Amino acid sequence: MKRKISFFLFAGAIGFAVDMGMLWLFLRFRLLDPFSGRVFAIGSAMLCTYMINRTFTFGRSHRKVAVEGARYGSVGVASALINYAVYSGSLIALPFISPYLALILGSGSATVFSYLGYDRFVFGSKK
C-alpha cells in the first residue's frame, strides 16, 4: 500500500509539472486564456499520469486496454471537473489570485478522489 501511494504521488508530481508547464506555455505566449488553457493542460497531464499509473502504480488491470482506458478516463474526467471547478472558482472569486496558485488549489482538491477512483474502479482486483 505504501509503495502504491508513493508511486501515485510520483505520477501526480509529474502530472502536476506537465499541467503547470502547459499552462505556463499557453499564458506566457498568449496562446490561450487561463480558462481554456487549463482544459488542455489538464488533458495533457491526464494522459501522462495514465501511463505512469498503469505502468508503475497500479499495474495493468484484468480488463482490456480500451475498457481500462475508458474507466481511467471517466475517473479522470470527474477528477478534472473537480479540479477545474476549484481552479475556475478561485480565479473568479479571487480575481487577484495567480492562475498558478489556483492550479495548486484545484489539483490538491482532486487528489484523494482520483486515487480512490483509480485504485478501486480502474485497477481494482477482479470481481
Cα separation, 66 vs 10, in Å, equals 24
How does residue 1 score in pLDDT terms, banded at 50, 70 and 90? Answer: confident
How does residue 26 score in pLDDT terms, banded at 50, 70 and 90? Answer: very high
Residue 89 has pLDDT above 80, yes or no: yes
How does residue 62 score in pLDDT terms, banded at 50, 70 and 90? Answer: confident
Residue 27 has pLDDT above 90, yes or no: yes
Query: What mean pLDDT value characterizes the chain?
Result: 93
C-alpha cell at 12: 501526480
Could you give the percent of the chain with pLDDT greater than 70? 98
Cα separation, 112 vs 115, in Å, equals 5
| Amino acid found at 68 | E
Residue position matching grid coordinates 495548486: 104
pLDDT recorded at residue 125: 55
pLDDT recorded at residue 127: 47
Is the separation of the CB atoms in 124 and 62 below 8 Å? no
Residue 78's CB is within 10 A of a number of other CB atoms, namely 15
Is the separation of the CB atoms in 25 and 89 below 8 Å? no
C-alpha cell at 115: 486515487
